[in-house]
Structure 1
Amino acid sequence: MKFQRKKRENVDITLISMIDVLFVLLLFFMVSTTFNRQTEVNIKLPEAEGTEAEEHPKTVSLVIDADGIYSLIGDDGLPHQLIDQNKAGLKQELGKLALNSKDVPFIINADDKTPNKAVMTALDIAGQVGFSHITFATLHPAD
């Protein structure tokens, strides 16, 4: 018995589908890539609208002036400037306060000209030492 072999057809590799896949991958990488664009925007931070917060009998307040100088408001209601104006000094002072009052609201009073670095440093250290109720003091905007 004689079997006939079927003729083989030429196999063509279609490049169009490979190009489509590569184009989709290229598009995906272009969209998912982040570009660092440094822009400066003049903003005025300490104004906000909303209801006033509840008054708590005891709060811990940190005041940051326009130069980034930290002061803690004591029991007498007056701000007392920290001796060490670095991260370690701020962490040490807030750590002392956090031992007794972690559940007490921690209020950051920052001037509208305060550098954001000083505010973010205070916010980060307050979270590190254990304060969980952190708020910012603001003023209602003038009409």
Structure 2
Amino acid sequence: MNFRRGRKREEPEINFVPLIDVLLVILIFVMATTTYSKFAELKINLPTANAEKTPDNQPQAVNVAVSANGQYSINNELVTFSSPDDFALLLRKAAGGNQDPMIVIDADAQSTHQSVVNVMEAARVAGYGKLTFATQNQQGK
């Protein structure tokens, strides 16, 4: 039996207006909560500090200097080495009887990162865990 004589059946339609409203709200939320950062380059200027200089009354400190061209000196004596193990022996010799001296790394600002890592690796091989870096005050301040 057909009870709907003469009437055309309406086709269901999808209403896109609520869908568009929901999508716009989501888009606004994403745009408002997202931060856009552009990392073009890192500008690093090392080593300087504005801290007060500590007195040099620490006899247990071993000063290791690294020059810009990669030369090393321990307590103001120029040293050469071929491996971190050799450099660790030189550090132990400079420390004398001190079991855990403070290793002060005084690296030139133009020295390579690898040069400083070599000193840190030698200190680790020697069993020394106290490392610090020497800096200088900025000129004109």
Q: Is the 8 A contact 2:85 2:122 kept in 1?
A: no
Q: Is the 8 A contact 1:69 1:85 kept in 2?
A: no
Using a 3 Å threshold, how does the CA distance of structure 1 residues 50 and 137 change in structure 2: closer, same or farther? same
- Any runs of at least 4 consecutive aligned residues in structure 1 with deviations exceeding 4 A, and if so which? 39-42
- Aligned equivalents of 1:135, 1:62: Cα separation in 2: 10
- Alignment correspondent of 2:88: 91
Task: Write the letter of the residue equivalent to 2:52.
Answer: T
Question: Is residue 71 of structure 2 the alignment partner of residue 80 of structure 1?
Answer: no
- Aligned equivalents of 2:83, 2:108: Cα separation in 1: 18
Structure 1 length-normalised TM? 0.58
- Aligned equivalents of 1:42, 1:116: Cα separation in 2: 15
Question: Is residue 89 of structure 2 the alignment partner of residue 123 of structure 1?
Answer: no
Q: Is the 8 A contact 2:62 2:95 kept in 1?
A: no
Task: Write the letter of the residue equivalent to 1:61.
Answer: N
Q: Is the 8 A contact 1:98 1:129 kept in 2?
A: no
Counterparts of 1:3-14 in structure 2, within 5 Å, are none
- Alignment correspondent of 2:64: 62
Q: Is the 8 A contact 2:85 2:125 kept in 1?
A: no
Aligned residue pair count: 100
Task: Write the letter of the residue equivalent to 1:89.
Answer: D
SS at match of 2:68: coil
- Aligned equivalents of 1:81, 1:41: Cα separation in 2: 33
Shift of 1:70: 1.0
- Alignment correspondent of 1:132: 129
Using a 3 Å threshold, how does the CA distance of structure 1 residues 92 and 104 change in structure 2: closer, same or farther? closer
Shift of 1:41: 4.2
Unpaired segments ≥5 residues, structure 2: 1-39
Shift of 1:40: 6.5
Shift of 1:42: 5.1
Using a 3 Å threshold, how does the CA distance of structure 1 residues 111 and 71 change in structure 2: closer, same or farther? same
Q: Is the 8 A contact 1:70 1:85 kept in 2?
A: no
Shift of 1:131: 2.0
Identity %: 24
Using a 3 Å threshold, how does the CA distance of structure 1 residues 48 and 107 change in structure 2: closer, same or farther? same
Task: Write the letter of the residue equivalent to 1:112.
Answer: A
Shift of 1:85: 4.8
SS at match of 2:137: coil
- Aligned equivalents of 2:54, 2:44: Cα separation in 1: 24
Structure 2 length-normalised TM? 0.59
Give the greater-gyration-radius structure (CA). Answer: 2
